[in-house]
Amino acid sequence: MGEKHLMNSYSRFDVEFENGSGTSIYDINGREYLDFVAGVAVNSLGHCHPAIIQALDKQSKKLIHVSNLYWTPTQTQLAKKLVSLSDHATVFFCNSGTEANETAIKIGRKYGKLKGKAEKYEIIAMENSFHGRTMGALTVTGQTKYHKDFMPMIGGVNRIRFNDVGDLQKSISEKTCAVIVEPIQGEGGIINANKEFLMEAKKLCEKYDALLIFDEVQCGIGRSGDLFAYQSFGVIPDIVCLAKGLGGGFPIGAVLANERASILKPGDHGCTFGGNPLGCAVSLAVLEELVENKVIEGVKGKEKLFKKGIEELLQEYSFIKKIDGKGLMIGIHLDIEAKKVVNKAFDKGLLIIGAGSRAIRIVPPLNISTEEINRGLEILAEVFKEVKKELQFA
Ligand SMILES: Cc1ncc(COP(=O)(O)O)c(C=O)c1O
C-alpha cells in the first residue's frame, strides 16, 4: 500500500478498494463490502452511477476546464438550477466543503466591513462543530483536538454551546458579522440542531444585522430528506455551504447567498477550478437524479426503516444510548467506543464510521435499496451481539 510515499495524515483501514457499484464496493481481492459510509456522505447515488458516468463521458469530450475569466453554459446552468431550487440569489463555486466555508467566512467579514463598522468582524461558531481544516475553517471548528498543533487560530471567532439559546443571546452583538452552524453536526457526533435554536439565530442575526451561515456540507443535498437541510428545519439562512453530495463523488463545492449576502466583487475571492465544466456537468446529473427522478422522495421512508431497526437494537442493548440525525444521516450514540463496533462491522463486510468517539454514523447512498438496508441492519445486529458478549466477559 502507500505508507512509504503518502504523508501519514490519515488513519486508514487495512484495505485497498478497486471498484464499486451502487452500495457495494470491492477490494483488490474481490471481497464485497456494503458501503454505509459512501465516501463520508459523498456518493449520494452510490458508486459509479450510470448518470454520473454518462455526464463525465459527454462533458469530457467537450470541455474539461476553462478559467473563470470566461463564462461556460454548464456553470451557468448549474448556478441557475441551484438558485431555482433554493431560496437564494447567487452561487459561488469551489472544490470542497472547507473552501465553501472559507468563502462564507470571507463574505461575513466583508459584510461587516460594508456596514461601515471597523469592529464588526466577530464570527460566532459552535462548540463541537466541524467546518474544515484550513486556518479559517479550522478556527470556526469547535473542537480543540484539531487546533492544538496549529495554534494560533485566526482572531475574531467566539465559540458558543450548540443549541444553547442563552449562550447565543449573550454572545451576539453589533460586533457580530456572521453566525455559522451545522443544522446537523456531523463529525462532532451526528447531533440535530434544535429548530428553536436555529430560529433564534435567524432572529438575532436580523436584529444585529449579521449573516446566518448554514454549513450543509455534510447534511445538505438530500441527506436530511429534503434537498437542503434548512428546508428540514424550516429556517432559511443567508448563506448555505455545500460540497460532498453535490458532485456525487466528483469534487465540487458551492456557496449559495441571498440578495443581502451577494456582495463579492471581482478580486475579492476566486478559485481556479471552481465551477469547472466537468464538475458542473456531473452535479447537474446528480441533481436531476435526486430531484427530477425523485431519489430524495424516498429518503424519509428509508430513514424510518433504519430507525425502526436501530430502535429494536436500542431496546436490546443497554450500551446503545440514543438515535439522532435526520434522513440518511443517522447517528447511533453509544456509551462505549464507536471504534469497537466500526471495526467489527468492517470484518463482517459492512462499512460504517464513527462520529466523535462514541457515536456511529450511517450515511449510505440516498438510493440505497430496502434489501441493502435490511442486510446492513442484520450485520449490525450481529456486531452488537458480539460486543455485548465481550463486554460481559471483560
Ligand atoms: C460539516 C462539514 N463542513 C466542512 C467539511 C469539510 O469538507 P471538505 O473535506 O470537503 O473540505 C466537512 C467534512 O467532513 C463537514 O462535515
160-182 pLDDT, tens digit per residue, is 999 999 999 999 999 999 999 99
- The CA distance from 327 to 80, in Å, is 26
Rounded to the nearest angstrom, the distance between the alpha carbon of 199 and the centre of ligand 1 is 24
pTM above 0.95, yes or no: yes
Helices (H) and strands (E) in the chain, counts: 12, 17
Confidence of residue 393 (pLDDT cuts 50, 70, 90): confident
Pocket test of ligand 1: the residue of 146, 216, 218, 219 to mutate, having most ligand atoms within 8 Å of its CB, is 218
As given in the structure block, the three cell numbers for residue 245 are 453530495
DSSP designation for 22: B
User: 301: buried, middle or exposed (CB in 10 Å: 19+, 13-18, 0-12)?
Assistant: exposed
Domain locations along the chain: 17-49+296-393, 51-292
- The CA distance from 98 to 120, in Å, is 23
Pick from 305, 254, 313, 285: which is nearest to 48 by CA?
A: 285
Rounded to the nearest angstrom, the distance between the alpha carbon of 100 and the centre of ligand 1 is 9
- Give the pLDDT score at 333: 98
CB-based pocket (< 6 A), ligand 1: 40, 96-98, 101, 130-132, 182, 186-187, 215, 217-218, 243
Statement: residue 87 has pLDDT above 90: yes
Dihedral sign for Cα 339, 345, 346, 351, please: negative
**CATH number belonging to the domain at 17-49+296-393, selected among 3.30.565.10, 3.90.1150.10, 3.30.300.30, 3.30.1330.10:** 3.90.1150.10
CA gyration radius for the chain? 21
Q: Are 214 and 182 in contact (CB under 8 A)?
A: yes
- Give the pLDDT score at 1: 86
Pick from 102, 120, 124: which is nearest to 111 by CA?
A: 120
pLDDT digits (tens, 9 = 90+) for 296-313: 999 999 999 999 999 999
- Give the pLDDT score at 290: 98
Cell 486508514: give the residue.
12
Specify the CATH architecture of the domain 51-292.
Answer: 3-Layer(aba) Sandwich (3.40)
Q: Are 212 and 205 in contact (CB under 8 A)?
A: yes
Average pLDDT of every residue of the chain: 97
Rounded to the nearest angstrom, the distance between the alpha carbon of 216 and the centre of ligand 1 is 9
Rounded to the nearest angstrom, the distance between the alpha carbon of 207 and the centre of ligand 1 is 29
